[in-house]
Amino acid sequence: MDKLVAVSRLQGLAAVVVLCLALLYLARGLKDPLRSIPGPFWAKLSGAWIILLDLSGNRSTTIHDLHLRHGPVVRIAPNQLSFSSTRALKDIYGANSKYTKAEIYESLGQKGIFTTRDRDEYRVAKKRVVPSFSQASIAQMEDMIHGHVANLVKCLDKRLNIPLDVLPWFRIFALSVVGDGFAGKSFGGLETEKTPQLLLDLDAVFPSLWVWWMFPTTSKILQYAPVKAIRDFLRAGDDFNQYCGNAFYEYLLHVDPAGRHDLIAKMLNERDELKGKTSDIPRALTDKGIIDEVTNLVFAGTDSTGNTLSYLFYELSNQPKWQLRLREELKDVPTSHRYNVVAELPILEAVVQEILRLRPAAPASLQRITPDTGGVIDGVVVPPKTIVSCQALTIQRNPLIFPDPDTFNPQHWLDVDGPEQLETMRNHITVFGKGARACLGRSLATMEIKLATAALITRYNVEIGGVTTHNDMEMACHFVLVPKGKQCILKFTPVL
Ligand code: HEM
């Protein structure tokens, strides 16, 4: 009898607790300024929903489905909104926007141009880094890129007519370019035909940064955990930084920066000039500051370009007619493939634009924080400190702008009805971001992709090389777009 009374008391207590929680939720909901924005129930309730999506790699595709279902604004966490209109793009990322990069960027690697959030600090960093991305500087990299393309061709020539995982080869190619361009060395993978350790470690950097991103405080504590595997995992970002540090010290030993124009030489020269005038050298110009900047650039320019090339050749394998059209276009182009000629080829341009549209290397929400005064985005009143974003995956698949938006169809870019339509289409391309914080490496990446594509497609036919390839190439999003199967098995055969 006593037991029965105790059980029913417990049940009563539980009912009261549930009722209180429900009332609390209701009261909070009534005060919630974002309550009218559609979104999944769990996203309104807790941030755990979006964290789980992030960890699973399904963030972008799920948010895309939500926009298809609910329209141009959806709620993806208690304080996070995703928008999908070009009006919202302008409001959040446009000139003079007051929305700054969200806190999450500080977890995305060492302090540098990509991760800096503070406006004043960023202005100084940008002034220093931007000249390395000027048209003149990029043009100076052309011969270096041709050299790496030639090395890539040598590697592929030895692997013709067999199923080949092209993902590591395109990643090594991209790494070689940014390594040579910004770290003072290519890291050598194409010459040795072996994946450099740095690239193997980069595989761990993404999941590791992700955990730092999601659980910064826990990660700070766990990086000193007694379990080596946990320590190694959490320090993957630092290890990556260390490779760039080694490259920097090799540069100091072997290269005379005088008269050179690369970023390290420029930063060293700036430091030397300051040394004569002040003892107060800014952090960005210390050895650590320079290494961190180089790390940011190598990180930003490797998987983005490498994975885009893998998706490009995958899509060309699915649609051999575009290989034929490219080859036809390239047949009258001198085999030196100088960029001033290659850059202007319309079919190649259409193929590259289309892959960047359909398989954006950075498909995910580019998160910004709403200023203290709050804001209005695409007509929606947004409270201060709300995290807001647009994602390329959704904006670039707008069916009103790109008919049959989920299909690789370079014709989208060839059937343009005048400059107005082209401008509308370009306004819907956000693969390189928009506004003041848009990608600095855009021209470099485009040059790499075009030169590599021109060289390979004139030499090889490419076809699907494995039974799992289509499944492997499903999209996972870990800030950068990654094939779910972590491989891209194709087959290259010589063009006869
Ligand atoms: C297909 C290749 C690439 C894509 C799709 C891409 C995409 C992007 C995107 C979307 C952003 C903006 C991130 C944001 O607003 O949160 C960005 C920033 C950046 N990217 Fe790229 N990127 C590519 C290649 C490169 C390359 C080759 C470099 C050269 C090192 C590079 C350097 C940078 C830098 C420095 C930033 C930071 C700009 C700033 O905050 O001012 N990217 N990139």
Q: How far is the CA of 82 from the centre of ligand 1 (A)?
A: 20
Instruction: Mark whether 340 and 429 lie in a shared domain.
Output: yes
Contact 439, 445 (CB under 8 A): yes
- Does the beta carbon of 179 sit less than 6 angstroms from any atom of ligand 1? no
Instruction: Mark whether 7 and 116 lie in a shared domain.
Output: no
- Does the beta carbon of 431 sit less than 6 angstroms from any atom of ligand 1? yes
Nearest CA among 364, 380, 438 for reference residue 56: 364
CA 198 to chain CA mean position, Å: 18
Instruction: Give dist(CA 58, CA 365) in Å, integer.
Output: 12
**pLDDT score at 364:** 92
Instruction: Mark whether 7 and 17 lie in a shared domain.
Output: yes
Give the position, in ligand 1's atom list, of the atom nearest the Cα of 430.
10
Instruction: Mark whether 414 and 392 lie in a shared domain.
Output: yes
359: domain range? 32-494
Instruction: Mark whether 10 and 52 lie in a shared domain.
Output: no
- Given the DSSP bridges, would you call strands 480-483 and 475-478 parallel, antiparallel or unpaired? antiparallel
**pLDDT score at 163:** 98
Instruction: Mark whether 343 and 213 lie in a shared domain.
Output: yes
**pLDDT score at 29:** 64
CA distances from 142 to 153, 195, 350, 447 (A): 16, 23, 21, 8
Q: How far is the CA of 90 from the centre of ligand 1 (A)?
A: 19
CA distances from 315 to 64, 120, 321 (A): 21, 42, 11
Other CB atoms within 10 Å distance of the CB of residue 450: 20
| Concatenated DSSP letters of 111-169 | SSTTT---HHHHHHHHHHHGGGGSHHHHHHTHHHHHHHHHHHHHHHHTTTTSEEEHHHH
Ligand 1, atom 41: closest residue by C-alpha: 437
Instruction: Give dist(CA 221, CA 474) in Å, integer.
Output: 35
Nearest CA among 478, 425, 465, 432 for reference residue 93: 432
Structural domains counted in the chain: 2
**pLDDT score at 355:** 98
Contacts of 287 (CB under 8 A, 6+ apart): 245, 248
Instruction: Mark whether 77 and 204 lie in a shared domain.
Output: yes
- Look at the block and give the residue holding tokens 């954006």: 360
Q: Could you say which residues of the chain have pLDDT below 70? A: 1-2, 4, 7, 18-30
Cα angle 190-186-196, degrees, rounded to a multiple of 5: 55
- Does the beta carbon of 440 sit less than 6 angstroms from any atom of ligand 1? yes
**pLDDT score at 95:** 87
pLDDT tens readout for residues 37-96? 999 999 999 999 998 998 899 999 999 999 999 999 999 999 999 999 999 999 999 988
- Does the beta carbon of 113 sit less than 6 angstroms from any atom of ligand 1? yes
Beta-sheet strands, E only, within 178-300:
none
Give the position, in ligand 1's atom list, of the atom nearest the Cα of 298.
30
Q: Give me the interface pTM, i.e. the ipTM.
A: 0.99
Give the position, in ligand 1's atom list, of the atom nearest the Cα of 181.
30
Instruction: Give dist(CA 339, CA 449) in Å, integer.
Output: 11
- Does the beta carbon of 183 sit less than 6 angstroms from any atom of ligand 1? no
Instruction: Give dist(CA 128, CA 480) in Å, integer.
Output: 26
Instruction: Mark whether 8 and 50 lie in a shared domain.
Output: no
Other CB atoms within 10 Å distance of the CB of residue 216: 13
Q: Is the dihedral of CA 383, 388, 394, 399 positive or negative?
A: positive
Instruction: Mark whether 18 and 100 lie in a shared domain.
Output: no
What's the CATH number where 124 sits?
1.10.630.10
Give the position, in ligand 1's atom list, of the atom nearest the Cα of 445.
27
**pLDDT score at 256:** 84
Instruction: Mark whether 59 and 193 lie in a shared domain.
Output: yes
DSSP H helix total and E strand total for the chain = 23, 12
Contacts of 314 (CB under 8 A, 6+ apart): 464, 469, 473, 488, 490
Contact 357, 412 (CB under 8 A): yes
- Given the DSSP bridges, would you call strands 489-494 and 460-464 parallel, antiparallel or unpaired? antiparallel
**Is 477 known as a binding-site position?**
no
Would you state the structure tokens that stand for residue 481, as one six-digit string? 């777009």
Instruction: Mark whether 240 and 354 lie in a shared domain.
Output: yes
Nearest CA among 379, 478, 352 for reference residue 81: 379
- Does the beta carbon of 433 sit less than 6 angstroms from any atom of ligand 1? yes
- Does the beta carbon of 89 sit less than 6 angstroms from any atom of ligand 1? no
Q: Which of 101, 122, 304 to mutate to test the pocket of ligand 1 (most atoms within 8 A of CB)?
A: 304
pLDDT tens readout for residues 352-361? 999 999 999 9
- Does the beta carbon of 351 sit less than 6 angstroms from any atom of ligand 1? no
SS3 of 72, please?
coil
Sheet holding 163-165, edge to edge: 163-165, 489-494, 460-464
Beta-sheet strands, E only, within 249-395:
368-369, 375-377, 380-382, 387-390
The identity of residue 167, as a single letter, is L
Please, what is the angle between helix 119-129 and helix 287-318, to 10°? 70
Instruction: Mark whether 489 and 399 lie in a shared domain.
Output: yes
Q: Is the dihedral of CA 103, 109, 114, 116 positive or negative?
A: positive
**pLDDT score at 15:** 75
- Does the beta carbon of 178 sit less than 6 angstroms from any atom of ligand 1? yes
Give the position, in ligand 1's atom list, of the atom nearest the Cα of 302.
27
Instruction: Give dist(CA 262, CA 273) in Å, integer.
Output: 17
**pLDDT score at 209:** 81
- Given the DSSP bridges, would you call strands 375-377 and 380-382 parallel, antiparallel or unpaired? antiparallel
**pLDDT score at 24:** 63
Other CB atoms within 10 Å distance of the CB of residue 349: 18
